[in-house]
Chain A
Amino acid sequence: MSHMQIELELNGETETFEASKADSLLDVLRANGYTGAKRGCDTGACGFCTVHVDGEPVTSCVTPVAKADGASVETIEGLGEQDDLHPVQQAFVDNTALQCGFCIPGMIMRSTALLDENPDPTEQEVREALSDNLCRCTGYKKIVEAVLDAADRLEGERAVATDGGPQDDADGRMLDSGCPPGRCDCSGGEP
């Protein structure tokens, strides 16, 4: 098989990977340890492999890696850390929005793309944005609530920044979600 080198701006770092011409972006990401994106169908029908390419959400299983050469790629690994979650990740946790979690990295990447473009979506807009990302566990209810909650959190964060209040870290992560992690009965970070 013909091999090639692929250069990606991956989560802000320049990376070079060996790849075969037939490889999808998902193949290359997973072969190099970026296993947060999941293989669900290989046809772009489930959304579990969603990542951002040049800021747009794409299903990486049907994106030829050659097409992504030189592109900026964001994966779930570039969002938050376990002890420093991105507000969208924190909202998913606080809203009990996930069960098995297999669809969740794709769901979160789809959600961050939505909120970048539309910071204050309606419930219907959230449902439409997530309609290409399937979930078998949740019935979507708590996922939709988590995304709406995340929009509020990000809005609050921006308001604080505008006020010149306590600043977030460089990546725009909230320093304090308002509730102690996991020890909160409010179920969503709202008072």
Chain B
Amino acid sequence: MSEDDEPAKPDGGTASQSDPVEDERSEEHPLEWDEPENNDKAPDERDSVSHRAEKYDDRKLVTGQAKYTADYEERYPDLAYAAVVRSEIPHGRVTDIDTSTAEAMDGVEAVLTPESDAVPDAKYTSAGQSYPEPSPWDMHVLNEHVRYIGDPVAAVAAEDRATANAAVEAIEVSYEEDDYVTDPEAAFDSDAPQLFEDDEVENEIVGHDYNRNRMAHIEGELGDVDAALDGDAHVHETEWETIRQSHANVEKHTALAYTNEDDRHVLITSTQVPNHTRRQLAHLFDIPIRDIRVTKPRVGGGFGGKQAMVVEPIPLALSLATDRPVLYEASRQEEFYAMRSRHPMKVRTRTAVTDDGDIEAIDIYALSNTGAYGSHGMTVAGNVGSKPLPLYSKVPNVHFEADIVHTNTPQTGAMRGYGAPQGTLALEGHLDEVARDLGLDPIEFRRRHHMEVGDLDEIAGMMGGEGANRRIRSCGLSECIERGKEAIGYDDLEQPDADHLHRGIGMALSAQGTGVAGDELGAAQIMMNEDGSFHLQVGGVDIGTGADTAFLQIAAEVLGCDEDDIIVKSSDTDVTPFDYGAYASSTTYISGMAVKKAAEDAKERILDWGSKLLDEPVENLETGDGTVYSENSGDSVTLEEIGYEAAYGDDEREHILGKGTHCTEESPPPFAAQFVDVTVDEETGEFEVHKLVVAVDCGVAINPGMAEGQIEGANHMSYEMAVSEGITLDDEGRAEVSDFDEYGLPSATETPPIESILVETHEPTGPFGAKSVAEVPTNTVPPALSNAVRDAVGVRIREMPITAEKIRAKLDERGG
């Protein structure tokens, strides 16, 4: 609930923005956007957008009636249950798999090994990305060459869970063990044990050098960074390290596969990417795309962990082998060691800053540990630079470089923020340190350099492709900083009475994108029923974010109907139009714009019928309150009357349909300003975080309550990245975390108060002014907390997580 003194309605896209600066490249990327008049509605003209509409699926969720994948179990009486045998060694070759005991067990329906007919031979990547994927095809569904403790080796289907698990225990795997390497710096040495031969990988990625375990190398530069670093300016260099964070999706990876009476293959699965999964399965199993149906029921969180085909091939292969429906539900332990995690990274930042505090150059280098396989490895590393660096779009010399290396450790993948958290720590922590070193106010220092409306951002695209030369048309950073400062009490911070306690505030800025520029597609269709209600079919994927609700608010705003009059059907590849899926902060912006276009298409037909029934020209007509009305005559006709007339009229009939498809070269950044208030005990290093404040410019918030929820949840995840160990590994790369008890997901008592502030600008390229919200607040707590500790006691923690032990060690170092 909002604070009492906050307005119930947000300002709706009227945040103050600085005056734009024009330059000579304005023609190519004009500041002025050809925005339709109906896209920029004043807040008081909005009937559905900007309202805290009830989330579409909430009633079935709070009553336990909603169905997630595992809840479909009861519909399939002959369901078999899958379990997986996983490698117990970090690196080696499987020499023998003894399945005889397992196969002889009562209730075991099938045991699959890499040799089995039902198991595809093809290589693939699990990354759910566009096609061809910017990730290497370096995986097999089941593996003879195993590369980490957790690699799938064999799979079982049995009539119940217990039997499946017992069969897995009964399978004996013999290995020939190879040398292994778990440290990314050691792996990058040419003498290190090698995970891949060149011929073991297809669809190889730029800069790969498998002799050094490097799956990719990327680099980009504007200006001349070396020259600037060699000049008169102050050069600072800092190094940062981030944790292996688990998505910790509350719903585990789960998929149910069967073949239906039309001999077509159906997957009910907990995924962010139904269409990509369909294409990937078709490739792997050599089945035509049309013969695969992927449907997504309710999903218990994704956060990037399900932007991948992580488990689906296993139940499909078992279903083909047994001719029965098969459910595979990963165990919680498997979630921590055999699914995906955030790429742990070491990031080095260098800057050249003049005496006057002008930033002449920024150079960032990232060494990313992609684990045993390369899914999302190159693209995540690219975002270490391409997301945070554009914050300082006026800096003339910028260089970014990354090496992405394999180790014999669990797999990594996409995770909320997608490289930006690692880069934001390294940039925002660094700039805070530079400002303090040069005697500048850290916030003023950022203020002088940060992005503004009118800027032409060349940094996001400097490595090619994504976001090349973006014109910034909305930016609420200044107001984010102002309102964040006020909310945290920046100017009147009271120090504790005790001498050994010191209180400090840290700040960090962040930018993300809104979809992958030039590499997204969303589509939607709207069908009108004769009673004036609508079916909205949309490929956009609601994984718990509230996307379905945002879609119907957008559609209702266009159609002038009540939200209750729209039924949403999303993410069923047989029924709903195509969509790339829920990732890259794209859903509201890309899929939402497709919905808007579909609604406008339907509206055109509705107005045409209204014109016929009211005998007035279309130009006089508008939709609203479930009617078509004339602004001239005041006459109106209900959508229901139009629906019946269109379906059952005497002379002419039409099913009113609207369709919309959306792709764009644009990817406007949302922005965040994070503040952290901390007290540190200089004797013990122990610290207490009093409050997290994060002000976010997400353009117009389609549903402010849901947008706040996204921000608070993202900040909670970001806080975890700052204070928790993540998934720690032993010397062989074995995950030391097997359950929530051992993983540092902050509980309700361990989470500091979070205040989210919506700073709404109007983004002309987005539906009703919207841009993204879900990722940007994931990036900011690690640097802001590091900066706050620095502010409080003068020591700097660069290696996450921030702990009392590390602070005390630094204090001791300084004291000694």
User: Which residues of A come within 8 Å of B, CB atoms?
Assistant: 1, 22, 30-31, 33-43, 45-46, 48, 75-77, 79-83, 85, 89, 92-96, 98-105, 108, 124, 126-128, 130-145, 149, 181-188, 190
User: Which residues of B come within 8 Å of A, CB atoms?
Assistant: 1-2, 8-9, 51-55, 57-68, 70-71, 73-74, 162, 247-252, 298-301, 303, 329, 331-332, 543-546, 563-564, 705-706, 708-710, 712-717, 739-741, 745, 747-751, 753-754, 756
A96 to B709, Cβ gap below 8 A?
yes
B64 to A137, Cβ gap below 8 A?
no
B716 to A93, Cβ gap below 8 A?
no
Tell me the nearest residue of chain B to A95, going by C-beta.
B1
For A82, give its contact among B52, B60, B745 (CB under 8 Å): B60
For A144, give its contact among B303, B564, B748 (CB under 8 Å): B748
Chain B nearest CB, measured from A100 CB (Å):
2
If the complex has contacts A98-B55, A141-B753, A185-B9, are A42 and B748 also in contact, measured as CB distance less than 8 A? no
Chain B nearest CB, measured from A96 CB (Å):
4
If the complex has contacts A48-B250, A98-B62, are A93 and B299 also in contact, measured as CB distance less than 8 A? no
A140 to B751, Cβ gap below 8 A?
yes
| Total residue contacts A-B, CB cutoff 8 A | 207
A100 to B748, Cβ gap below 8 A?
no
Bound form: Cα–Cα A93–B706 in Å: 11
A101 to B62, Cβ gap below 8 A?
yes
Bound form: Cα–Cα A189–B17 in Å: 34
If the complex has contacts A45-B740, A98-B61, A143-B748, are A185 and B8 also in contact, measured as CB distance less than 8 A? yes
Bound form: Cα–Cα A183–B52 in Å: 8
Bound form: Cα–Cα A102–B74 in Å: 18
A108 to B8, Cβ gap below 8 A?
no
The 8 closest A-B pairs by CB, nearest first: A36-B64, A100-B544, A182-B54, A102-B300, A101-B61, A139-B716, A96-B705, A76-B64
B73 to A38, Cβ gap below 8 A?
no
Chain B nearest CB, measured from A87 CB (Å):
11
Chain A nearest CB, measured from B335 CB (Å):
9
Chain B nearest CB, measured from A136 CB (Å):
5
B709 to A138, Cβ gap below 8 A?
yes
Bound form: Cα–Cα A126–B70 in Å: 30
List chain A residues, Cβ under 8 A from B60: 82
A142 to B62, Cβ gap below 8 A?
no
List chain B residues, Cβ under 8 A from A130: 747-748
List chain B residues, Cβ under 8 A from A43: 332, 739-741
B749 to A127, Cβ gap below 8 A?
yes
For B712, give its contact among A80, A127, A128, A141 (CB under 8 Å): A141
B740 to A41, Cβ gap below 8 A?
yes
B59 to A37, Cβ gap below 8 A?
no
List chain B residues, Cβ under 8 A from A80: 62-63
If the complex has contacts A38-B68, A99-B709, are A131 and B747 also in contact, measured as CB distance less than 8 A? yes
Bound form: Cα–Cα A188–B55 in Å: 13
For B716, give its contact among A30, A34, A98, A140 (CB under 8 Å): A140
Bound form: Cα–Cα A46–B741 in Å: 8
Chain A nearest CB, measured from B55 CB (Å):
7
Bound form: Cα–Cα A1–B160 in Å: 12
List chain A residues, Cβ under 8 A from B543: 100
List chain B residues, Cβ under 8 A from A30: 73
B61 to A187, Cβ gap below 8 A?
no
B747 to A132, Cβ gap below 8 A?
yes
B64 to A181, Cβ gap below 8 A?
no
A101 to B52, Cβ gap below 8 A?
no
A35-B73, A98-B58 given; 12 more Cβ-contact pairs under 8 Å = A38-B68, A40-B252, A42-B331, A48-B250, A82-B63, A96-B708, A100-B298, A101-B62, A136-B247, A137-B250, A137-B544, A188-B2
Which residue of A46, A89, A182 has the most chain B CB atoms within 10 A of its CB atom?
Answer: A182
List chain B residues, Cβ under 8 A from A104: 61-62
Tell me the nearest residue of chain A to B335, going by C-beta.
A41
Chain B nearest CB, measured from A34 CB (Å):
8
B2 to A187, Cβ gap below 8 A?
yes
Bound form: Cα–Cα A30–B714 in Å: 31
B250 to A22, Cβ gap below 8 A?
no
